[in-house]
Amino acid sequence: MKIDMVKKSVSLCMDANLTAFVQGSPGLGKSAIVREIAEERNLELIDVRLTQCDITDLNGLPKLDGAKATFLPFDTFPVDGDPLPQGRDGWLLFLDELNSANKSVQASAYKLILDRMVGNHHLHGKVSIVAAGNLITDNAVVNSLSTALRSRMVNLVLESDSGLWIDWAMDHGVDPRVMAYIQYKPTNLFNFDPNKDEDTYACPRTWDMLSRLLSHMGRNQLDTFAELIVGIVGKIGLEFIAYAKYALELPSLEEIKSGHLHSDPKWEVGKIWMVLFHILSKFDQVVTEREIENVLNYVAGFGKEYLTILISRSYRMADVRPRLIASPCFRHHMKLITDFSHQEPANGKEEKADGAGSDAAGEKDGGKKKSKSRSRSGKDSEDKSDSGKESGTGATPKIA
């Protein structure tokens, strides 16, 4: 299930007072989904890593009360009678690493999830519960859950999706070089192989980490810190370094806005993606009608497919959308690409839209493209793609 549907499904489970159990490989963003939901719903997030708990953490500590003993819960868990956290509408209890916890802790979590009780105390009525864990196929430390527990949760499996990740990345200020690389090589968003013994690997989490590192690094220091980059995303970092050097060859946004430059459709696909995301990262600086027109015309010179991506992604930017809607030139191009996205393919079948852009080279052969290009290292390389899996291309997105 793609990340947007997982997020919607978890929210729906919370509305129905059900516990969603999100499984996925490490680094796909399970925790990020839960954090975003908590923030959007104005809930206080309680992050409990069950692998670091024992049964007393979930059941509470015993306390003598006359001739009998009772259990006092830790203040981690809101119970009936507790006041709401200041400025919040409730709590989201996140039970992370559920299927990595030992059996005794899982048994204690069973009572928490099913009975909504901590020891002898009921959870507060404003507490929602979400659980998460890794897949058993990831060679991670995973203990099977009892069928009784599993059947009382809504089981969701999270998958990676490059187009949706780029949507997220644009909203969170990820470095345009990283976004361009993932657009160009979408399968490299997540290259985790449980059968390989590697210190790290490329995944949404590590690409975000790399982006934060790049913001503190000079644009000419990529080779200097090559080992550092490899230490974040693995050996694929060397390919990223070679690709990111395209950024040093790009025209400035001011030159593009001036209208004095003409795009070169003979550029390599990867370089076109780099300039496109360079523009998108600074699109708030494209202000006047003439500047909008010049930028759109510049990108259109690379091909209608690239113009489609520029318009669809810039339209998502809440801070610039009003200005774009008011632009006659933008509206004109928007109508053109909307008509383009609805064109019937030659084979008479309707193309499916996946938001990743259309065939970037404009050469279609049964939905497949094969191109031979020369890499920056000087070696001939053959780039094969099917529905955009390796070239950063796919079906043209529809504009809402």
Instruction: Identify whether 212 is part of a domain.
Output: no
Instruction: Identify whether 185 is part of a domain.
Output: no
Q: What is the token pair recorded at 208?
A: 């975000």
Same domain, 139 and 266: no
Same domain, 148 and 263: no
Confirm if 46 and 91 have CB atoms less than 8 A apart: yes
Q: Where does a domain end: 140, 159, 178?
A: 159
Count CB atoms within 10 A of the CB of residue 114.
13
d(CA 275, CA 249): 9
Query: Residue 137 contacts by C-beta under 8 Å, 6 or more apart in sequence?
Result: 194
Residue closest to 229 by CA, chosen among 211, 246, 204? 211
Write out the residue range of the structural domain in which residue 302 sits.
Answer: 254-344+353-364+387-400
Quick one: pLDDT at residue 363?
A: 36
Same domain, 18 and 153: yes
pLDDT tens track for 150-207: 888 999 999 999 999 999 999 999 999 999 999 999 999 998 887 777 788 999 999 9
DSSP 112: I
Instruction: Identify whether 197 is part of a domain.
Output: no
Please return the burial class of 60, using the count of CB atoms within 10 Å of its CB with bins 0-12, 13-18 and 19+.
buried
Give me the sign of the Cα torsion angle 303, 307, 313, 314: positive
Same domain, 395 and 263: yes
| Cα 88 to the center of its chain, rounded Å | 26
Confirm if 363 and 170 have CB atoms less than 8 A apart: no
Q: What is the CATH number of the domain that holds 46?
A: 3.40.50.300
Instruction: Identify whether 91 is part of a domain.
Output: yes
Question: Residue 373 — pLDDT band, cuts 50, 70, 90?
Answer: very low
Domain count, the chain: 2
First to last CA, the chain: 23
Instruction: Identify whether 213 is part of a domain.
Output: no
Q: Where does a domain end: 159, 194, 220?
A: 159
Same domain, 19 and 122: yes
Question: Residue 224 — pLDDT band, cuts 50, 70, 90?
Answer: very high
pLDDT tens track for 160-173: 999 999 999 999 99
The label of the residue with tokens 């979930």 reads 58
pLDDT tens track for 73-109: 889 999 999 999 999 999 999 999 999 988 888 888 8
d(CA 369, CA 384): 6
Mean pLDDT of 289-305: 92
Q: Where does a domain end: 128, 159, 190?
A: 159
Quick one: pLDDT at residue 140?
A: 67
d(CA 295, CA 279): 8
Confirm if 28 and 160 have CB atoms less than 8 A apart: yes
Instruction: Identify whether 114 is part of a domain.
Output: yes
Inform me whether the pLDDT recorded for 376 exceeds 60: no
Q: What is the token pair recorded at 150?
A: 């599993």
Residue closest to 74 by CA, chosen among 139, 34, 119? 119
Q: Tell me the DSSP string of 213-258.
A: HHTTS-TT-TTTTHHHHHHHHTTHHHHHHHHHGGGGGPPPHHHHHH
Ramachandran sector of residue 198 (left: φ over 0; alpha: ψ -120 to 50; beta: rest): beta
Same domain, 131 and 21: yes
Instruction: Identify whether 214 is part of a domain.
Output: no
To the question of pTM greater than 0.85 for the whole model, the response is no
Instruction: Identify whether 204 is part of a domain.
Output: no
Residue closest to 239 by CA, chosen among 226, 225, 224, 254? 226
pLDDT tens track for 10-53: 999 999 999 999 999 888 989 999 999 999 999 999 999 999 99
Query: How does the average pLDDT of the chain come out, rounded?
Result: 83
Inform me whether the pLDDT recorded for 220 exceeds 80: yes
